[in-house]
Amino acid sequence: MISHQPTSRLLLTLVLSFGSAHLAAQATENPIVSPAAGAKFAPIPNAPECFTIAVEKGDPTKGPSVILARFARHCVAPYHWHTPSETAMVASGTLETQMKGDKAIVARSGDFVYLPSHHVHRATCTGTSPCLVFLSSNAAFDIHWVDAAGKEIPFEQAVKPTKATAKPTK
């Protein structure tokens, strides 16, 4: 008969060690309450002007963070990807998201969207009001714009009107 007691003790020790480390980490953090009405939105480099953010937690240039993003009505973030995984929770408005090669989906207030690292996608604020979206990332936040073939391109080229999106001249 084989005794599982040493294995059980080891497992219990590991669980208690990790559990107490997790509790210690939680004890050093302070709660955050940040009313949306007081958010200080600012544009970010390498992104459309119609997209602004307010940092809620962390520093998106250095590591994991939570930001409140505001998309103006009809604001389009063309196809792009991020190095970190991105989680989006729509607070208000209607945000159409499309993963490259898939049909567009419409996310409304309370809806959740998860985008794995390097996953090519686009977003458009549709409807009659701006979109407020909480975005969290698990590492420093970046944006890599891509063309229709998925090749990385400069931001200016990504937002340049194409024949399909250009307005006709009179």
Q: What is the pLDDT of residues 105-125, one digit of tens each?
A: 999 999 999 999 999 999 999
pTM (two decimals): 0.75
Quickly list H helices, 42-159.
Answer: 155-158
* Tens digits of residue pLDDT in 9-38: 433 333 333 444 444 444 568 898 888 788
Q: What is the mean pLDDT of residues 64-80?
A: 96
Alpha-carbon separation of residue 11 from 18, 20, 22, 25, 143 (angstroms) = 11, 14, 16, 21, 41
Rounded to an integer, what distance in angstroms lies between the CA atom of residue 119 and that of residue 85? 8
8 Å CB contact between 135 and 44: no
The gap from C-alpha 132 to its chain's centroid, in whole angstroms, comes to: 12
Chain position carrying tokens 């294995």: 7
DSSP 117: T
Fold of 59-158: Jelly Rolls (2.60.120)
